């Protein structure tokens, strides 16, 4: 059972200066699964994602990637296999779009330059930006920048992709293009954990919705089930609120 888990998060805890933000979180992800993480602001969603690749090292608990434990000593190699998409893109500003998608392949995985270029071009096509290869990030719209950052993560051929509110920094009219790329990835069989308030995405693409509050997972299940009949009052209230606003 645990063997075929791509991502296995076990009892992760994290405190900031005495404030316990994650109070024992566990969940697993099989190959090709997409799980959407929702919860009120401050519930610890970002912290959880950042604990998975040790951008914020967890205090307790264990994380396994395809059966191999993520540890401080193998962290760079593990991060190369965990794609991370940030809310504010964080594209490398001094590099062209193509080089943004190439650089980690070359420097981290040691991929040959021409192979990396070809792969980069391929991933840019996949997110619909094949014609922007020579542009600089500052010359792109937010939606385009976010799609490049998805291509950058994909080019590393990651076991799993983590998205932390990928559309929250975008103007409303630009969220669609990013959501569509994510939906395509989900249906292409990418393994992903997505923190988002885009409930249309959750409905269509999520295999499971995980509801977090106060550092705990308080409910999880297929989105249809949670949307129609969440067992927990607070889950229901929260889903109603974002359903109205999104």
Partner 1 sequence: MLDFLRFGIEWLPALLKGVPLTLALWVIAITLGCLLGLILCWARVYGNRLCYWISTVYIELFRGTPMLVQMFFIYLGLPHVGIVFDAFTAAVIAITLNSAAYQAEYFRGSVLSVPRGQMVAARACGMSKWQAIRHIMLPQALRRVIPQWSNEAIIELKFTSIAYTIGVVEITAIAQDIGSRTLDFFQVFLWAGLIYLVLTSTVASLLSWVERRTHVPGVTTN
Ligand X SMILES: Nc1ncnc2c1ncn2[C@@H]1O[C@H](COP(=O)(O)OP(=O)(O)OP(=O)(O)O)[C@@H](O)[C@H]1O
202 binds partner 1 (CB under 8 A): no
Q: Is 76 in the site for partner 1 (CB under 8 A)?
A: yes
Task: Report if residue 69 touches partner 1, rule: CB under 8 A.
Answer: no
31-60 residues in contact with Mg ion (CB under 5 A) are: 46
- CB-based contact 174:192 (threshold 8 Å): no
Residue pair 113/119 in contact (Cβ under 8 Å)? The answer is no
Q: Which long-range contacts (CB under 8 A, 24 or more apart) does 14-17 make?
A: 14/44, 14/47, 14/51, 14/56, 14/58, 14/59, 14/60, 15/59
Q: How far is the CB of 76 from partner 1 (least distance, A)?
A: 5
Distance between CA 235 and CA 238 in Å, rounded? 5
Output the smallest distance, CB 126 to partner 1, in A.
18
Asked whether position 64 contacts partner 1 by CB under 8 A, the answer is no
**Minimum distance, C-beta of residue 201 to partner 1, in the bound complex (Å):** 22
**Nearest residue (CB) to partner 1, 43 versus 149:** 149
Task: Say whether residue 166 binds ligand X (CB under 6 A).
Answer: no
Mark 196-219 as b/e (b = at least 16 C-beta within 10 Å): bbbbebbeebbebbbbbbebebbb
Which ranges constitute the DSSP H helices of the chain? 45-52, 75-79, 97-109, 113-126, 142-154, 172-187, 199-205, 223-229, 233-245
Q: What is the distance between the alpha carbons of residues 100 and 96, in angstroms, rounded to a whole number?
A: 6
The window from 43-51, 147-155, 198-206, 234-242 that contacts ligand X (CB under 6 A) reads: 43-51
Nearer to ligand X, 51 or 133 (CB): 51
Cβ neighbours, 10 Å, residue 110 = 8
Which entry of partner 1, Mg ion, ligand X, none binds 173, CB below 5 to 8 A by partner kind? none
191 contact choice in ligand X, Mg ion, partner 1, none (CB below 5 to 8 Å, kind-dependent):
none
Chain residues binding partner 1 by CB under 8 A are 53, 55, 76-84, 86, 88, 90-94, 103-104, 107-109, 136-139, 149, 152-153, 156
Chain residues binding ligand X by CB under 6 A are 16, 21, 39, 41-47
Chain residues binding Mg ion by CB under 5 A are 46
């Amino acid at each position: 059972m645990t063997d075929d888990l791509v991502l296995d998060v076990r009892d992760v805890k994290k405190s900031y200066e005495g404030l316990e933000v994650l109070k024992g979180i566990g969940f697993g992800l099989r190959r090709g699964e997409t799980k959407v993480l929702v919860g009120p602001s401050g519930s610890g969603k970002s912290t959880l994602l950042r604990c998975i690749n040790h951008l914020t090292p967890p205090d307790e608990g264990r994380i396994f990637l395809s059966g191999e434990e993520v540890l401080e000593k193998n962290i760079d190699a593990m991060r190369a296999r965990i794609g991370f998409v940030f809310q504010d893109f964080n594209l490398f500003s001094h590099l062209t779009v193509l080089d943004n998608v190439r650089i980690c392949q070359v420097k981290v995985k040691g991929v040959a330059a021409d192979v990396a270029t070809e792969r980069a071009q391929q991933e840019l096509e996949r997110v619909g930006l094949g014609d922007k290869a020579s542009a600089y990030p500052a010359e792109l719209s937010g939606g385009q920048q976010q799609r490049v950052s998805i291509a950058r993560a994909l080019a590393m051929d990651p076991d799993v992709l983590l998205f932390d509110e990928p559309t929250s920094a975008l103007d409303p009219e630009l969220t669609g293009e990013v959501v569509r790329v994510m939906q395509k990835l989900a249906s292409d069989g990418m393994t992903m954990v997505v923190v988002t308030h885009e409930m249309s995405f959750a409905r269509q693409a999520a295999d499971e919705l995980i509801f977090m509050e106060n550092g705990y997972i308080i409910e999880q299940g297929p989105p249809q089930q949670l949307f129609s009949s969440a067992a927990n009052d607070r889950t229901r209230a929260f889903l109603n609120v974002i359903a109205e606003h999104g």
